[in-house]
Structure 1
Amino acid sequence: MYYSRSLKDVWLSASKHFPVLLLTGSRQVGKTTFLKHICPAGRTYVTLDDPSTRALAQEDGGLFMKRFTPPILIDEIQYAPNLLPYIKMEADSSSKKGQFWLTGSQQFLMMKGISETLAGRVAIINLLGFSQRERERSNLDIEPFISEKKNLTARLSFAKKPSLKKMYKNIWLGSFPALIAGAAKNRELYYSSYLQTYLQRDVRDLAQVGNERAFIKFIRACAARTGQLLNLADLAKDTDISIPTAKNWLSILMASFQIFLLQPYHNNITKRLIKTPKLYFLDTGLCSYLTEWNSPQTLEAGAMSGAIFETWVFSEILKSYWHRGLEPLIYYYRDKDKKEIDFIIEANQKLYPIEVKKSTTIKKEWGREFSVLSKFKKGTGKGIVICMAEKMLPLDDKNDAVPVTIL
């Protein structure tokens, strides 16, 4: 069964304006399935996962381009970055748009030596696993999430009564299409195989990490810290590696879309702000697997329950932008007085504060720390607390509690 993606219209529109389009995202999030589904007749498909095709691309880019002519879909371009200058020449020699559709399992800007090769010629779009909208196959055209009245009103029109049981089942299962669509029946076997593929193709082949056992220990340590401030020294100590190695391995996880480092919001007005990023896993199912929660029930009742709930909310907000071809200005806030706001979205010359609470009971003190944003020059937009409430309820004259099902 095919699940439609929010990205469809954005991708097809970009294909009319750019000669090259690159779809990036972690392995098995549905990049190839999506592009093949919307691909018009006459476009050649070639994958660099095939050893002989990859060898040709790596050893003789010119011959490769003569053998596989545009319009073309090239899968897993990270295996042959040397093809990009040839793609650039082809793009420059023709006025046709959308001639090259590329996919990659690594962030384009982190591919060594090629970040500027296609500057001005390529549209780079990120894809993660299914969003909640895609999972439910409804309201795929909803605008990216922001806590302003029009957006919230549109989302409240389809928001269902939250179910803690269903919420944690979704969080525990994760967002990979094979698990949701039913192609993979056994969750544990799926994630075990996923890790082996990831280790072999991204960690060993591309990043040349030699100590795979230590790397698995490192990725597990990162998963256990989702939603927390990044502490490289702590990660290195727990994994018995050096801090430089921990920094390098963290960049590998970022480049392959396993984690996201959320930067703090700050400017030059105050020096009392924490400037350390927060670490978030991008798939809560993989995160739960790595931290060995063997059921949705144990996950919901366990020590990571709040952090994994916050992680899921963050990934949904991020998907609402990435799956519309947009890059959000999203941060967190924390100062040395320990005042903290989970997320801040910067838009329309305003700062929109968002807190996340895994609670059905509304508390009067929720949202009080949003007032710390008044010291910044930008205006403060509507603040919200995303929680398990059944409907939107006011916290005060400016801030509201909203059900998590608006995502």
Structure 2
Amino acid sequence: MDYFDRHIKDKALSLLSKFPLLAITGPRQSGKTTFARRLKPDYTYVNLELPEARNFAKSDPLAFLRSYQNGVILDEVQWVPELFSYVQVLTDERNIPGEYILTGSQNFLLSNQITQSLAGRVAMLNLLPFSKAELKNHIQVQSWEALTVNGGYPRKYQFDIAPNDYYPNYIQTYIERDVRQILNVMDLGNFQKFLQLLAGRVGQIFNQSNFSNELGIDQKTVNAWLSVLETSFIAFRLPSYYRNFNKRILKSPKVYFYDTGVLCSLLGIKRAEDLNVHFARGPLFENLVILELLKKELNAGNIPSFYYWRDSNQNEVDLLKETDGQLTAIEIKSSETYHSDFLKGLKYFQKIAPESAAKLIYAGNLNHERDGIQISNFHNL
């Protein structure tokens, strides 16, 4: 398979020219190692998942860092968090831009250590699985349903693995392994049930007490389990937007998944055709669109400000995107047929936030403006 260019490349090169360290985080198997080695093929590569490299770094971090300098990729660096304080001292002494590229899969370990030791010295990027835009130069994306079921993990495309073969193994090998490492979950069966319940309620308001009652666990455990999925780049919370509006609104988050292939596997969806009559067709399309917009922001090196909005009268906007104080309200519909009532929530929101822009993204073919609202089809996302 040809190498798929990653759209985050330009931003990564720019940051390497300005900071001594570049940290790349993301889900396991999202292509971080391949990307880093393609980005700087002349850099020395060290994989800290290998026991001998990890032991050297832990037992004598100064000697380790003096052995590897002036262009080094430290892969899975979360295994040796002790390195960060030494990296700080040595990079301050040498003051060489782009000296180290750090990669890691467990976001919370990498971020916590970086904020404590390397603030101001490190630039951070998140690399998610392939976006639709990254895939389109190599494969034909025939439908949103096919893209949803196939997801974006590089290995799946590299070896042409069927979704039903790839994702159950990914979930068992990586998600459950990471959970055991981080939380020492004793009842793995209950955690698997939690994952499936979360998938079945994608795009819905996250209610901790409902999960607690159904699983027979306390709400602290529910929140801890969701936090692990967030730090492992499996799921994320979309917060409610409640600034500047007086009307009573809901403040609980919604939950979406970082890859729709994982989500479909948890829902038992094996083929694109299964989505035609599936109860989660609408939420899956919504997850896919939000995820594509999220990848676009992350690949540009931006920190996305994404929200949803709903008031006590059930007026709702699926996605609010805030850029430099400007709000764009986005409604997302999986229907292939346009209906004028799709614009109802957007029009209401524009009345209470008249400075906002509005956009409808749906699964049909229209791509034009109506009543001051941009209507876009998925292929022109």
Q: TM-score, normalised by structure 1?
A: 0.87
Identical amino acids, percent of aligned pairs: 34
Q: 8 Å contact 2:182–2:228 — kept in the other structure?
A: no
Q: Is the 8 A contact 1:184 1:190 kept in 2?
A: no
What's the secondary structure of 1:229's corresponding residue? coil
Q: Which residue of 2 aligns with 1:404?
A: 378
State the distance in 2 between where 1:342 and 1:90 align: 47
Residue 173 (structure 1) aligns with: 150
Number of the residue aligned with 2:16: 15
The equivalent of 1:242 in structure 2 is 218
Q: Aligned partner of 2:100: which letter?
A: F
Opposite residue 32 of structure 1, the aligned amino acid is: T
Distance across 2 between alignment mates of 1:264 and 1:10: 29
Aligned: 1:380 with 2:356? yes
AA at the equivalent of 2:145 = Y
Contact 2:332 2:361 in 1 (8 A): yes
8 Å Cα contact 1:221-1:238 kept in structure 2: no
Residue 261 of structure 1 and its aligned partner are, at CA, apart by 0.5
SS in 1 for 2:374: strand
**Quick check: 2:24–2:124 contact (8 Å CA) kept in 1?**
yes
1:129-187 CA distance string (max 9 Å, x none):
1000001128xxxxxxxxxxxxxxxxxxxxx9x96xx2211111111011123x25243
Distance 1:28 1:45 in 2: 17
8 Å CA contact 1:362, 1:401 repeated in 2: no
* Mapped pair 1:321 → 2:297: yes
Structure 2 residue runs of 5 or longer lacking an equivalent are none
Partner of 1:310: 286
Aligned runs of 1:33-182 on 2, under 5 Å?
Answer: 33-41=34-42, 43-108=43-108, 111-112=111-112, 114-137=114-137, 166-181=143-158
**Could you report, residue by residue, the CA deviation over 1:244-286 in whole angstroms, capped at 9, with x for unpaired residues?**
1111111100011111111111125415011111100110111
CA contact (8 A) 2:209 2:219 kept: yes
- SS of residue matched to 1:209: coil
- C-alpha distance in 2 between matches for 1:59 and 1:261: 38
For 2:146, the aligned partner's letter is: K
Equivalent residue number for residue 28 of structure 2: 27
Which residue does 2:256 correspond to in 1? Answer: 280
In structure 2, give the amino acid aligned to 1:400: Q
Per-residue CA deviations over 1:64-83 (Å, capped at 9, x if unaligned) read: 22333332101111111111
C-alpha displacement of 1:323? 1.1
Partner of 2:94: helix, strand, or coil? coil
Deviation (angstroms), 1:358: 1.1
Is the CA contact 2:69–2:100 (under 8 Å) kept in the aligned structure 1?
no
Partner of 2:365: 390
Q: Say whether 1:217 aligns with 2:218.
A: no
Greater RCO, 1 or 2 (C-alpha within 8 Å, sep 6+):
1
Question: Structure 1 pair 77/394, CA: closer, same or farther in 2 (3 Å)?
Answer: same
Give the AA of the match of 2:27: S
Q: Tell me, what secondary structure is at the counterpart of 2:319?
A: strand
Give the secondary structure class of the aligned counterpart of 1:125: strand
**Alpha carbons 1:26, 1:128 under 8 Å: kept:** yes
* 2:206 pairs with 1:230: yes
1:271 and 1:368, CA in 2 relative to 1: closer, same or farther beyond 3 A? closer
User: What is the aligned partner in structure 1 of residue 330 from structure 2?
Assistant: 354
* Structure 1: gaps of 5 or more residues: 139-159
Contact 1:44/1:73 (<8 A) preserved: yes
Q: Distance in 1 between matches of 2:364 and 2:303?
A: 29
C-alpha deviations, 1:298-357, integer Å up to 9, x for none?
123210111101000010000000011111221111000100000111124421111011
What is the letter of the counterpart of residue 369 of structure 2? P
Q: Residue 206 of structure 1: CA displacement?
A: 3.4
Alpha-carbon distance in structure 1 between the residues aligned to 2:81 and 2:351: 46
Q: Give the whole-Å Cα distance in 1 for the aligned partners of 2:194 and 2:122.
A: 34
Q: 1:59 to 1:211 in 2, by over 3 A?
A: farther
CA shift at 1:196, angstroms? 2.8
Alpha-carbon distance between aligned partners in 1 of 2:86 and 2:177, rounded to the nearest angstrom: 24
Give the AA of the match of 2:232: S
1:26-52 Cα offsets, whole Å, 9 max, x none, are 0001111111112142x1101111122
User: How far apart in 2 are the matches of 1:206 and 1:59?
Assistant: 23
Shift of the alpha carbon at 1:360? 2.1
Letter in 2 for 1:178: R
Contact 1:24 1:108 in 2 (8 A): no
Question: Do the aligned residues in 2 keep the contact of 1:360 with 1:389 (CA within 8 Å)?
Answer: yes
Q: Look up the SS of the partner of 1:379 in the other structure.
A: coil
Find the partner of 1:195 among 171, 192, 195: 171
- What CA distance in whole angstroms lies between the structure 1 residues aligned with 2:185 and 2:85? 27
Contact 2:4–2:135 (8 Å) recurs in 1? yes
- TM-score, normalised by the number of residues in structure 2: 0.93
